[in-house]
Structure 1
Amino acid sequence: MTFVDEVKNAVTPRAALLVLGVLALQLLFIASYVGALHKPDPTDVPFAVVAPQQVSGQLVSRLEELPGGPLDPRPARDAAEAREQIMNRDIDGALIVDPRGTTDTVLVASGGGTVLADSLTKIMEKVDATQRRTVRTVDVAPASPDDFDGLSSFYLVVGWCVGGYLCASILAISAGTRPADRQRALIRTATMALYSIAGGIGGAVIIGPVLGALPGSLWGLWGLGALVVFAVGMITLALEALTGVIGIGLAVLLIVIAGNPSAGGAFPLPMLPDFWRAIGPALPPGAGTWAARSIAYFKGNALTGPLLVLSAWAVVGTALTLLLSMRHSPDPTTGPPATTPAATDLRPGGSTAA
């Protein structure tokens, strides 16, 4: 065979398409991560202002007109209301103006992201400096000293997501990418559920009692972890049932390339560009990261939205996996399809090998 013939024999059209698909994923990975994280700037950060009535409106207007639009300010009645809104995760910070002195207070929550908390402090220092005033910072939901930059929640959720799609991929290709019939799909779903329970408690124990990186309820994190793993695993199984081995690449596209940079981990959502800020809360990494931080630092507040998102992914993934498996299930009235002989034994009295 000539060299060209060898190449044609080795590189099939299917292999070439898969390689091109991998190249596309690689370029999308670079574009997504660099696009989301190369220039973090706070934009429209929900921010409360507590000030005397006669100056509150003017201060809110001045903050709205800051270059680049970093804040989305709104008045609050008093410091207690501002604190409550931060703990409910309705806002990310607040300015408390002292009408009797020259030192104001900035309320932040580093548990929701240290980088954002520091940015809010710097913004208010510059604003107050123009009025010959100073600020002091009060952290109402401080990140753990062992949780550098508040990243532990994000890495925990990334680990759960990786486990979910890797387990689903192994379940799908263990039989040589054989399409799942109804019985096999049920077995894979049950296995995924058991794996999710183990993965959830394992991650919660490591991040909490073992490393002490996150405070909060161990049981809450366990439940969250099991839901994240199961949601990612089942949507991966559904994509594989729909498109075959290509589904693994689609899962990587959805969870890793689109989900991780938009999760608000390295930089909280208000510091991401519009596209990533919009998709982040709707994807498992973003919903999981928000929920983990709420459990760890915000007394379990603001969990309904992200739990509904994760539950929707889990339900859709499970339903699609089971429905698509019916395409490959034998008809109960005709039995399994007949097997076509693959080879014939030519020995005397030879038999057929299936």
Structure 2
Amino acid sequence: MRVPTCGSGLAAASFPLTMGGMIGGIVISLLVAGAARRLAALAGFAVAAGLGLTLVLQSWFEYLQGDFWINAAAMGLSVLATASFIVGCKSLLGAKGIGVGAVITMFVANPISSATTPWQFLTEPWGQIGQFFVPGASNWLIRSLSYFPDANLAPQWWILIGWTAVGVVLTLTAHARAAAATPAPHAQRDDEPREEVSVA
């Protein structure tokens, strides 16, 4: 019977899934400059990670069940939400933003994500709160797609989309703020003396 193996496999994959999103966000924020380039890099990373993880977990280990492409979309969105948040924090806060994003993701959200136990087993209200962070929503979504595909999973999709949007907004806000702070080229005023140009 594969259900216990699949369950333990998905639980074991939850930490690498979170770490993958964090590492992707850190690398993109450090190596890619410019808001548009960072957003494009995030999109490419999400597609590659979603396909790669699903290929390994579903086609190789058979931990995931159901439709390959829906699982790939869930995997990709999960890593995108984390990476986007990290990039947004770095764009807005500078180098310390990486620490802020990492602390929120790894030390706040991950312990209350209920990756290995149902959220009802955690001390109230932390189990419920954890489902509104990326690790909790992604674990719930990916597990349910395999075992409860007919369940209403719209809240989990929207939570991950929301965290992705937060990262995008932070990135664009930081870019707009930097553009506004850049001094405009000096324009010569009418009362300033003009240089005479001699024609030989």
TM bracket, shorter-chain basis: 0.7 to 0.9
Does the 8 A contact of 1:144 with 1:215 survive in 2? no
Q: CA deviation at 1:335?
A: 4.8
1:205 aligned onto 2:62: no
1:1-354 mapped onto 2 (5 Å cutoff): 144-147=3-6, 150-174=7-31, 184-329=34-179, 334-335=184-185
Q: Normalising by structure 2, what TM-score?
A: 0.84
Does the 8 A contact of 2:109 with 2:134 survive in 1? yes
Q: CA deviation at 1:154?
A: 3.4
Q: Deviations over 1:74-125 (max 9, x none)?
A: xxxxxxxxxxxxxxxxxxxxxxxxxxxxxxxxxxxxxxxxxxxxxxxxxxxx
Q: CA deviation at 1:264?
A: 1.2
Does the 8 A contact of 2:92 with 2:173 survive in 1? no
Q: CA deviation at 1:317?
A: 1.0
User: CA–CA distance in 2 between the matches of 1:238 and 1:277?
Assistant: 26
Q: SS at 2:111's partner residue?
A: coil
Does the 8 A contact of 2:43 with 2:80 survive in 1? yes
Q: How many pairs are equivalent?
A: 186
User: CA–CA distance in 2 between the matches of 1:222 and 1:300?
Assistant: 18
Gaps of 5+ in 1: 1-141, 337-354
Does the 8 A contact of 2:144 with 2:151 survive in 1? yes
User: CA–CA distance in 2 between the matches of 1:325 and 1:143?
Assistant: 49
Does the 8 A contact of 1:281 with 1:287 survive in 2? yes
Q: SS at 1:266's partner residue?
A: coil
Deviating above 6 A after TM superposition, structure 1's stretches of 4 or more consecutive aligned residues are: 330-333
Gaps of 5+ in 2: 187-200
Q: CA deviation at 1:216?
A: 2.0
Q: SS at 1:212's partner residue?
A: coil
User: CA–CA distance in 1 between the matches of 2:122 and 2:172?
Assistant: 37
Q: CA deviation at 1:329?
A: 2.6
Query: Which structure shows the bigger proportion of residues in strand conformation?
Result: 1
The higher relative CO (CA closer than 8 Å, separation ≥ 6) is in 2
1:47 paired residue number: none
2:197 paired residue number: none
Q: Deviations over 1:16-63 (max 9, x none)?
A: xxxxxxxxxxxxxxxxxxxxxxxxxxxxxxxxxxxxxxxxxxxxxxxx
Distance 1:275 1:244, change over 3 A: farther
Q: SS at 2:112's partner residue?
A: coil
Q: CA deviation at 1:300?
A: 4.2
User: CA–CA distance in 2 between the matches of 1:276 and 1:261?
Assistant: 10
Distance 1:193 1:300, change over 3 A: farther
Q: SS at 2:152's partner residue?
A: coil
Query: Which structure shows the bigger proportion of residues in helix conformation?
Result: 2
Distance 1:227 1:335, change over 3 A: farther
RMSD of equivalent CA atoms: 2.3
Identity rate, percent: 25
Q: SS at 1:282's partner residue?
A: coil
Q: SS at 1:329's partner residue?
A: helix
User: CA–CA distance in 2 between the matches of 1:335 and 1:200?
Assistant: 44
Distance 1:244 1:209, change over 3 A: same
